[in-house]
Structure formats: structure tokens, C-alpha cells
Amino acid sequence: MLLALRRLSVAAACVLAVGLPAAEAQETARVVPESKAQVQLSFAPIVRQSSGAVVNVYATRSERRQNAGMEEFFRRFFGEGGPSVPPGRSQSSLGSGIIVDASGLVITNNHVIENMNEVKVALADRREFEAEIVLRDPRTDLAVLKLKNATDLQVLELGDSEALQVGDLVLAVGNPFGVGQTVTQGIVSALARTQVGVSDYQFFIQTDAAINPGNSGGGLIDMSGRLIGINTAIFSKSGGNVGIGFAIPSSMARVVLNSAKGGSSKVVRPWLGARLQSVDGEIATSLGLARPTGVLVTSIYDKGPAAEAGLKRGDAILAVDGQSIDNPDAFGYRFTLKGTQGQTPLTVLRDGKRTELRVALLPPPERPARDPVRVRSRSPLAGATLVNMSPAVAEEFQVDISDDGVVVAELDEQGVAASVGFQKGDQIVALNGERIASTKDIERLTQRTGGYWEITVSRGGRVFTTVFGR
């Protein structure tokens, strides 16, 4: 067999079987099995090394709903976005997670524990612990839990997902359909998948290792026994595995985990201060590119990092710190991995010439201040906490920066605003015909009670007006 075709990681499994250090195993050359003896090699040493760190996550929540009478009316305007759980009904969720720190930190998918208020974790050795939710990050669909009073834990070390290659062998470990811990084997089918649609940072590892419901939050493990991905989604018309599964790379998981270890309850990302769009064939031709690649800068936020670095509207960003990018998702992923300290180089195409600009890695500013206002008066917004728009707020809630409007930052689950369908991230643009510039306007305009309410809302790129009290 030709040497050039030796790509699979059987040799790494052989090294682990004889007990060499993981670092040496990772450096071992990838080879294709060349004999019956090699084909009969077992993944058991890797499973023993890692499976004890893969846990089952059980999350529950009891819901009570008030003021449900207005829900159907409001949904005519908002669609299926409002509460949907009947009064007194209990929600539950089942998924998987991975112990990544001896202190009891567990990383899982955010959708496993989303909207839940009680979380328990069952270990492979049948011990169970209550868990505190330390950090939720919906934008990556990751969350970090902390086991209470847990000792003697097996930990799975994070590997380097950047070193993966298509064709590498991987194991998926989790709890599919609640049947118990299950190990499946496959290969890396593709890298940097960006059209999956399950989170804001789409840069997934695709694998054919069997992943099913309940595997969410489980581990994708390489042949060095290291965690290189968090299993998070499947492509399926039936709900079962069809050989197309997706995992969040460990590089992104490390960013979220480091935020939790640093004591933060949220992930702070670097802010570019520019709006980007994909480069299609027509744009590529106009830029003199041989093929569509990179991202086009369509607007610059005044005094933001992009403006300070010298980026201009019409520039094409081709790479972040030498890593080429093909779309805004890839840019967001690469840029986020750089953190919020120092600078990073961007390869930019301008007027047919390539140049390098260094952009500061800074968190988005809180200008103006949030100045939160909680609406307590009798109005459709009662129970909502609204904040002023700023780059930080726009990044957090993934809305466009606008001079007008305030953003719904929190909702009292038993309040009127939640019951009629308002959601976090909604922009309140106008109230009773008056434009809203700040939370002071909301505070003033909601002082009255009852009567007629006309509210203009921006959500997901749609702006519409709805009326209450007619």
C-alpha cells in the first residue's frame, strides 16, 4: 500500500495499549492498518482512559404560567416564540457531559440545561451529584456545571481540535436515548462546517460516529484519549443517527471553560466593530480573487477596533492570524479564539493588494451605560427589565446596533411581558407612537396604567407594531 495513503490513527491506539504518554501518542504518525493483527487492535484502552469522565446530565424544571389569556392574541404578531408549557407541568431534559477539571467542572450543551432550574449528574460509577450551573453560553451552545461535594473524579483532558484532519479516527461517548453510557466509533468526516444552524459560532467537526438524542454534551475523543469535540447535533429526518453528526471543537470549548474558571458567569469575546458579509463569485471577481474567499467589510463602527486598525468599508479580510477564512462564521470563530488581550493580525485585500493590519482584541464597550429599568406598572411590558443599546448589549443579544430602541434583557417568568410573548433580545423601538431613545423614555411612558398600548418591536430583523387594549 502506498505510503501517501497512510492517514488513519491505528498506530496511536497501539501506542496507548502499551502505556506510552499521551503526548508521545499524539505525535505518532497516522497509518492505515496493514495486517490482520493491526485490524484486530482494540479501542478498549482509550475507552478505559476516558469513559469515566463522561457523565449523564438530568435537568428538570417546574413551570407555572399566569396571564395566559393574552398569549394567542400576541402570537399573531410574534409567531411561536412565547411560553408553551401548560400550568403546573414539569419539563425535563436528558443529555451527557464531560468532567474537565478535578474541582468538579463539567462541560455540556447549553440546550441540555436551558431553562432548567434543577440539574443532577450521574457518573459512570453510579454516583450522583447535584450540580450548580456556573456559566451558560447560548451563542456556542455550551454550558459549564459544578458538581457539589464531589471527590475522586476522573477528568478528560482537552485535546487540540486544530490538529484534526479529515479521516482521523474518533470515538463518541454519551448516553443516547437514556440507555446508558455508549461508545461508538467513526472518522472525522469534515471540518469547519458552517451551515448547521444550531449556534452563533458555527465551525463544527462532522463525524460519522453514531450520535443520537441523549448524546448531546457527550465527548468526541481522539486516539490519544483526549477530548477534541462536544457532540451537539445530528442531521436526521427520522430523529435517529444517519451518519452525519456535529461536534463543537475543543478549541471553542476551552474558551468557554477558561471563562468559567476565571469566575465569570458569561463569555466575553473580542469585538471587531465592523459588519461583515460573505464574498460570492461576483464580489470575488470585482476584487480580483481567483475564487470566493474571505469576508467583505460592509460598515465600520466609529472608534471601534476595526476603525482604529485602519480597516475600511470595501476591504476583504482573508485571514485571521494566518488562518484563512471563507465566511463570517469562520471569521467569528477564529477571532473569538484570540481572546480579549493584545492584538491579532488580519490579512486584508485592498485595491488588489494584500496588506496586514493589527487589530486590538478588546471586549465591546458598555457605551452608553445599560441603565436598566424594570417595568412594574400595569402594562404589556410589566415584568420586563430593559437596557440601553450599546456594542456590548448588541453583541450579547445578537442584535444590530441601532440609535433607537432599548433591549429586553430580563423577563420575570410570572410577569405580563413574558406571558404575552416578549423575549430576551427584543428591541422596543416605539411606545404609543413615541420613539424610544433610552430606558428613561420607557420609565416615563409606562407610568400610566391600563388603556391603549401600541408597541413597535424589532426582532430577528423584523419590525412590527402590535396593539393591546382595544
Annotated binding site: which residue ranges?
A: 111, 141, 214-216
Residue 110, CA distances (Å) to 78, 133, 134, 169, 232 in order: 24, 10, 11, 27, 9
Other CB atoms within a 10 A radius of the CB of residue 169 amount to 22
Place of cell 478505559: 48
DSSP string of 383-402, one letter each residue: TEEEEE--HHHHHHHT----
Q: Quick one: which of 303, 306, 312 has its CA closest to 358?
A: 306
Of these residues, 50, 51, 96, 141, which one is catalytic? 141
Dihedral angle computed from the Cα positions of residues 271, 273, 275 and 278, in that order, rounded to the nearest 10 degrees: -50
DSSP string of 50-61, one letter each residue: HGGGEEEEEEEE
Number of H helices and E strands in the chain, helices first, is 13, 25
Q: Quick one: which of 348, 347, 459 has its CA closest to 81?
A: 459
Binding-site residue set for substrate? 111, 141, 214-216
216 is catalytic: yes
Q: Which three cell numbers stand for residue 339?
A: 481572546
Q: Which residues are paired to 119 by β-bridges?
A: 59, 131
Q: Quick one: which of 64, 69, 70, 67 has its CA closest to 86?
A: 64
Dist CA 205 CA 249 (whole Å) = 6
Dihedral angle computed from the Cα positions of residues 6, 244, 51 and 117, in that order, rounded to the nearest 10 degrees: 150
* Residue 132 near residue 253 (C-beta atoms within 8 A): no
* Residue 234 near residue 214 (C-beta atoms within 8 A): no
Dist CA 224 CA 21 (whole Å) = 9
Of these residues, 51, 96, 216, 259, which one is catalytic? 216
Other CB atoms within a 10 A radius of the CB of residue 369 amount to 11
Dist CA 11 CA 154 (whole Å) = 25
141 is catalytic: yes
Other CB atoms within a 10 A radius of the CB of residue 258 amount to 12
Of these residues, 50, 93, 111, 379, which one is catalytic? 111
Dist CA 294 CA 330 (whole Å) = 9
Give Cα 234 distance to the centre of its chain: 15
* Residue 344 near residue 358 (C-beta atoms within 8 A): yes
Dist CA 434 CA 445 (whole Å) = 9
Q: Which residues are catalytic?
A: 111, 141, 216
